[in-house]
Structure 1
C-alpha cells in the first residue's frame, strides 16, 4: 500500500502548503492559485521541502510570514532537501520555538507519500519532547519508523503524562515494541482516539500481544472511545485478546483492519464478549472466507453496527504454503 495523496484536511481544517520561500510573500504555491496567504488560524499549515529548500530556511520563512501565535495545526511533510535525512534537527527547530505557538492544538509528523519515501525508511526520533513542549496539544500523528537503521536513533517514546491529548496515531510498517510498551505506561486521561499501525517484524514491528495488555485493560485511558490495532501480522492473536479485553466496553468504534485477519480471529470476536454496542467495526483488508464474512455481517448488522469488510484479500501461495500480508509494511 502506498500513500498516494497528502492530507486534504487535518484537525478539522483544510491543509494549506506554505509557498516556496523564494516566491513573492503573498503568492501561494503553484496549483493553489494566487492571492494572500490564508488566515493563520483558518488552515492546517503544511511545510514541505519539495523545492530543495533546507528545512531551516523553510521554517524561518514560515515564522516570518505567518503569525505563529494564531497557528492551530501544523503538518510536516518531507523535511529533507536532498537525500533522506533524520527528523531530529527539523523537530528541534520546531520545539525551540514552541512558546511562539500557544494556540497549536495539532501536529502531524511525516505527511509523506510512498513515492517520496517508503514508510519504513522515514528516519524519526523520540517524539516525547513534542508532548512535553506542547501541553495543550490535542492531536499528534506520527508516520514512519526507520526499520532500515538508516538514522541516528529509532522512533521512540517515553512514559509521560499529558492532560490534553485526545487523538494519537502511530502509522508504521513496523512499530517498535518499545513505543507500545511506553504508551501503556503513559497517563493520557483525555485520550479518545488511539490508532496503532503495528506492522511486521521484518520492518521492526516487534510488539507482542503481551505488550498490548496495558492498552486493553480497564482504566488506562478512561476517555478512550476508538481503538485501532491495525496492520499486524498478529491480527488473529490481537482479535482474540480484544475479544476479552475490558477496554472494549467503553469503546464506540474498533478497528482491526489492514492486517492478516482470518476466520480464526473472526471466530474469536464472535465467541468473545458482546461487541454489538459498537457503532462501527472496521475489518477492511482481511482474509476471511465468504461464509465467515456473512456471519460477521449478520451478527453485527442486526445490532445496527456498521461493519467494514471491504478489500477482501486472498493469500499468496508459494509451493505448499500460504502467505498473508499486511496493507502497509515497507
Structure 2
C-alpha cells in the first residue's frame, strides 16, 4: 500500500506551495502564516536547489517558522544530498524555523521505498531551536553498503520526531535511543517490512518502552509493522505507558492476539487516545476494546479481514 495524499497542514500551519504560486503569479502569504512547501515536478525545467534559492530570495525567510520539502527529483529517484546541503547552507537565514518536514511525496511522484534519504541528523545541529522534524523515506543499512539515516545527537528543543518508512533500518531507532533529547514529547516510527529495507526488531524499540529515556515523552507511535502483535505485548507491560497521553499502534498487522495482550496488561484508561487503525481485529474484539476503554478516543477504522491469509502493513513499497 502507499502514501496517497500530500499533507495539508504542518506544525500548526496550512501548507502553501511556493513553486506553484510563483509560476501562477499568485500572491504570497505572510512568512509566518504558512508552512512553505518547495517541490518540483517530474522533468521540471528548474531543479529543486534553484527553486529553494528563489524561495530564499522572494520570501522574508527570517520569519518563516515551517518548511515542507516535497519532491526534489527531476528524472527518477535522486538522493536528498544536494537539497539537504542547500537547506543546511541557509540555516543562518532561517533563525525562526521550528518545523521541517522532509519528503512530502506521494506514490504518484515516488514510491516511499524510492525516496532516497540521507543522514538527516545534521539538520538538528544546524537548527538548534527546531521543535519538529518529520522524515519520509529510507535507505539501506550502513553495514550493507548503504548510508546512515540518522546518528546520535543532542538537541535541547526538539519536541516531535517522526520517521515514515516502508522499511525502516534498525540503525534509526538505535541512533534515536542513543540521542539526548530532553524536550522530546512525541516520537513515531513507521517500521515497514524487510522486503523494503526494514530491519528494525523488537529489541530496537525496547529503549523507548523502559521509561528511562526522554522524560518529557507523552506520545509514542510504533506503527506499520508486521510484528504489531509483539509490539503490543511489549507495550502491555512497558514502564513508559503510565505517563503517556496517547499511543499509536496503527497501520500494521494487528490481530486479536495483540489486542488481548493490551487488555490483559496494565491499565490504558488514562490515555486520551489509542490509534489502532488499519487492523485485523474481529468484530467481537473491537467491541471488547470499546467497552474496556470507554473514556479513550479509540480509532478502529480501516479494518481488514481477520481470517485473510494475506495481511499487510499500510505502507510498504
Category of TM-score, reference length = shorter chain: over 0.9
CA root-mean-square deviation = 1.8
Per-residue CA deviation, residues 2-35 of structure 1 (Å, 9 max, x unaligned), is 3222121111111111136xxxxxx6454xxx54
Q: Does 1:295 align with 2:282?
A: no
Which range moved further: 1-10 or 276-285?
A: 1-10
Q: Per-residue deviation at 1:202?
A: 1.1
Aligned counterparts of 2:307 and 2:57: Cα–Cα separation in 1: 53
Runs ≥4 in structure 1, deviation > 3 angstroms?
27-30, 146-149, 152-155
Gaps of 5+ in 2: none
Q: How far off is 1:329 after superposition?
A: 0.4
- 2:219 aligned with 1:232: no
1:298, CA displacement in angstroms? 0.6
Alignment of 1:69-88 (within 5 A): 69-88=62-81
The one of 157, 170, 185 aligned to 1:164: 157
2:33 to 35, 39, 42: 42
Select which of 219, 231, 235 maps to 1:242: 235
Shift of residue 158, structure 1, vs aligned partner = 0.9
Taking the aligned partners of 1:253 and 1:70, their CA distance within structure 2 comes to 32
User: Within 2, Cα distance between the matches of 1:120 and 1:315?
Assistant: 27
What SS does the aligned partner of 2:240 have?
Answer: helix
Q: Deviations over 1:17-58 (max 9, x none)?
A: 1136xxxxxx6454xxx5431111111110011234212211
* Bigger mean CA deviation after superposition, 52-61 or 291-300: 52-61
Q: Secondary structure at the match of 1:323?
A: coil
Aligned to 1:268: 261
Change (3 A) 1:316 1:64: farther
- The residue that corresponds to 2:8 in the other structure is 8
Note the alpha carbon deviations across 1:209-234, whole angstroms, 9 max, x for none.
11101111113111111111000001
> Structure 1 length as normaliser, TM-score?
0.91
Q: Which residue of 2 aligns with 1:328?
A: 315
Please name the residue that 2:19 is paired with: 19
Aligned residue pair count: 313
Aligned with residue 277 of structure 2, among 271, 284, 292: 284
Contact 1:44 1:75 in 2 (8 A): yes
Contact 1:123 1:154 in 2 (8 A): no
Among candidates 186, 192, 202, match of residue 185 of structure 2:
192
Cα distance 1:283–1:266, how it changes in 2: closer, same or farther (>3 A)? same
Gaps of 5+ in 1: 21-26
Question: Which residue, 165, 170, 173 being the options, matches 1:177?
Answer: 170
